[in-house]
Copies of this chain bind each other. A is one copy, B any other.
Amino acid sequence: MKPGKTTLVILIMCCSLFGFAQEQSKSHNLMPVPASLRFNSGRLAITPSFTIAVKGQSDARLLSAIDRMARRLEARTGLTFARGLVSDAAAATLVIQCQSAGKAIPSVDEDESYSLEVSNLQAALNAPTVVGALRGLETFLQLVGGGADGYSIPTVSIEDKPRFPWRGLLIDIGRHWQPMEVVKRNLDGMAAVKLNVLHLHITEDQGFRIESKKYPKLHQLGSDGNYYTQAEMREIIEYARMRGIRVVPEFDMPGHTTSWFVGHPELASKPGPYQIERKWGIFDPVMDPSNEQLYELLDGFLGEMAALFPDAYMHIGGDEVKGDHWKENLKIQAFVQVKGLKDNHGLQAYFNQRLSKILTKHGKKMIGWDEVLHPDLPNNIVVQSWRGPQSLAEAAKKGYAGILSSGYYIDLMQPGWQHYLNDPIPENTTLTPEEQKLILGGEATMWSEWVSPETIDSRIWPRTAAIAERLWSPREVKDVGDMYRRLAVVSLRIEDVGLLHKKNPEAMLRRWIGADLGNNNIARDMTIAEIKPLLAILEPVKGYRRGALQKATQFTPLTRLADIAQPDSERARNFASAVDRYLHPTSFSNGFGSDPVGSDLKGWKEYAAGANRMLFPKPPPPSKPDARSDNDQTVDIDLQLYIRSPLLNEEAAPLAKDMEDVCDIGLEAYGFLRTNKNPGEEWRDAKLARLIDAAKPKAAVELMIIQPVLELVIAAAEPEKHRSLSSEEWKKYVRSLAPPKRQSN
């Protein structure tokens, strides 16, 4: 965007509003927000003479965290600090004092609290454990900002501790293999926002991803060679420990186990042979709980894993058991009868009881998905809920500890605010304080049907930072606007720890366009410039819809538009707000003086029109030479651009057409509104129909500005209705008139 006069004025006004707001509220960029903080006046300068001292407890974990923090601070400021610690604590810029190393193995009981006192002269970070100090170091780094005299941090008093002790991210390495570097960089991202549990979903129908020395056929035949050796897994566990993060392994049983059966068909409820599953879904293969050999192998294998993974918990999955193979197997049905197990659910409970004993024998506590809850199981198990806070609360009432994952399914591409407002213990909870203690926290779940090592970061970040805040900060911290403001900063800063959520989508766009237009620099750069602003208002389809729209297996390359597009479009969100402010003005928003609605629509329309000139499903008929201006080759040339990138054309062309039309409609409606003209019912119905059509996903992505444009259209055609309704009522009314087909917002 070139800074023309108009945009500069907008810029200046926005800044002045921002600046004003900041001065008033001392707004900050911390995420998650600390339990308690109080800003004072003045700042502590960050200069080349920045030094650090450690008092009390010091160990390799603390020293290496300090070193990483200092290097990140250097990178941001361009300053070079002296290496190592200084011994004179009184003279140091930052003094860190820990009372203890904390637990030898990261634990759900770890004390993660810390306090940070910053004066004009010194910052003092105090913590009962090294892990607390690690959390405080991230806060320290987030406080750094620029000022007239260089870099500094504000003077502040922070007392901080997490609301929940279990704040996790599940990474599914079963469905799509995720190599070491993916896991490591995401551990660094987790540490940056104070998450403390990496839940590795290690085995699935589509892959068995850990080396078993006792039963090597498991990983050798079940993984296509994509598994972690035990040495590599130890490396991950140590990398996590250094960042105060637990690693909880999940071995999903008795369903989701096809990959186990490739090497060990005798464990299954139906005779083999088995092959690694390549499709997505819920499949029939399931372990045979009536087979004593199974418990023998599980005792051996889980014993091996119990020695490998130091965490107190082991996750046994337990979800989505179809049971068809149980029903078809007479021996198993006889077993159900003999043992008096009633049904498949009873059979699974029997299996879980056996598992529970194996885990206890190997010193592990059991955790499983909702389905493991059964009266026959001891209540020392932990339930991970994919069903919802309600189901979690019910478990708590029965005395089970639980963690929430429902509402944190980041693979479903929902906007961050939905996850953010999803509270493991909602305000209106009916749980007693004692019962509430059983709600340990929650986990974001990165299921990997639709993610590759290239795309996974952009599916996890930055939205997971909003979930991290929900799980760390007080319940009262829930201002969505402020969350998004801070999330934009966090999203940029976590690039410093190596996350690729911003880098990779850009590179995928270059691959998509560049490789085929590469040797025409002008066409290449222009096409990318056209597509980028349009891409910014597209999102991948939500929920489980992509699977219905696009056939895919484990082998499908994830390099298409739906993989490049990002969830939670900032531009679309801002546009919706602008439309809302325009249609329901307040004295504050009126003072803005700028016209974001019109300029957004005009800008997008221009880009879409440009893209439409280059991308079209079919070459247009040649027009007559005399109708042309100064050259005769327009059509051939367009065609040439088009044919160079078939994938681009196939996926982007229909969307560009939609976008141009939607913007046209929006501008037309906006024009009617500004001139107080009523376009009439016929116009309204025609535009409505076109918008509803444009709301249908193409290439498994959806255009995110339809709802606000609908609001403009209906407001133009029904001015009295519009004036009579509040902002909320108006949105609801418009939705009732033209429900965009399953489009989520």
Contacts and interface: CB of A to CB of B under 8 A. Distances in A.
Contacts of A14: 520, 522-523
Interface string A615-652: 00000000000000111011011111111111100000
Interface stretch (A76-84, A203-211, A355-363, A430-438): A76-84
A15 B520 contact: yes
A15 B643 CA distance: 13
Nearest to A73: B557
A511 B496 contact: yes
Nearest to A606: B2
A514 B494 CA distance: 11
A544 to B, nearest CB: 20
A437 B198 CA distance: 58
Contacts of A297: none
A515 B503 contact: no
Interface stretch (A89-97, A143-151, A472-480): A143-151
Interface string A33-55: 00000000000000000000000
Interface stretch (A308-316, A342-350, A524-532, A719-727): A524-532
A613 interface: yes
Contacts of A74: 557, 559
A620 to B, nearest CB: 14
A84 to B, nearest CB: 11
B8 A613 contact: yes
A647 to B, nearest CB: 5
A521 B606 CA distance: 22
A737 interface: no
A516 B146 contact: yes
B636 A16 contact: yes
B492 A502 contact: no
A151 B83 CA distance: 54
Contacts of A13: 631
Band of interface residues on A: 35 or more
A4 B443 CA distance: 48
A18 B146 contact: no
A21 to B, nearest CB: 10
A689 interface: no
Contacts of A145: 516, 644
A518 to B, nearest CB: 3
Contact of A503 (B15, B147, B503, B526): B503
Interface in A364-397: none
A603 B529 CA distance: 15
Interface string A460-501: 000000000000000000000000011011001101100010
A29 interface: yes
Contacts of A149: 646
A298 interface: no
B559 A147 contact: no
A593 interface: yes
A688 interface: no
A9 B461 CA distance: 40
A462 to B, nearest CB: 11
A299 interface: no
B495 A511 contact: yes
A75 interface: yes
A510 B8 CA distance: 21
Interface string A503-546: 11011001100111011111111100110000000000000000
A74 to B, nearest CB: 4
B502 A510 contact: yes
Contacts of A520: 14-15, 18
A607 B148 CA distance: 24
Most B-side CB within 10 Å, residue of A10, A506, A515, A553: A515
Contacts of A16: 631, 633, 636-637
A640 B146 CA distance: 10
Most B-side CB within 10 Å, residue of A14, A504, A520: A520
B492 A514 contact: yes
A523 B3 contact: no
B3 A631 contact: no
A588 interface: no
Nearest to A152: B646
A585 interface: no
A202 to B, nearest CB: 23
Given A29-B518, A77-B647, 12 more contacts: A1-B529, A2-B606, A3-B610, A9-B629, A16-B636, A74-B559, A146-B646, A147-B643, A147-B644, A148-B639, A488-B521, A503-B506
Nearest first, the 5 closest Cβ-Cβ pairs linking A and B are A489-B518, A3-B610, A492-B514, A503-B503, A74-B557
18 contacts: A1-B529, A3-B530, A9-B631, A12-B631, A12-B637, A19-B637, A77-B557, A80-B556, A80-B557, A146-B644, A147-B644, A148-B642, A150-B646, A488-B524, A489-B514, A492-B518, A495-B511, A593-B630
Interface of A: 1-3, 7-16, 18-19, 27, 29, 71, 74-80, 83, 145-151, 181, 485-486, 488-489, 492-493, 495-496, 500, 502-504, 506-507, 510-511, 514-516, 518-526, 529-530, 553, 555-557, 559-560, 570, 574, 593, 603, 606-607, 610, 613, 629-631, 633-634, 636-647
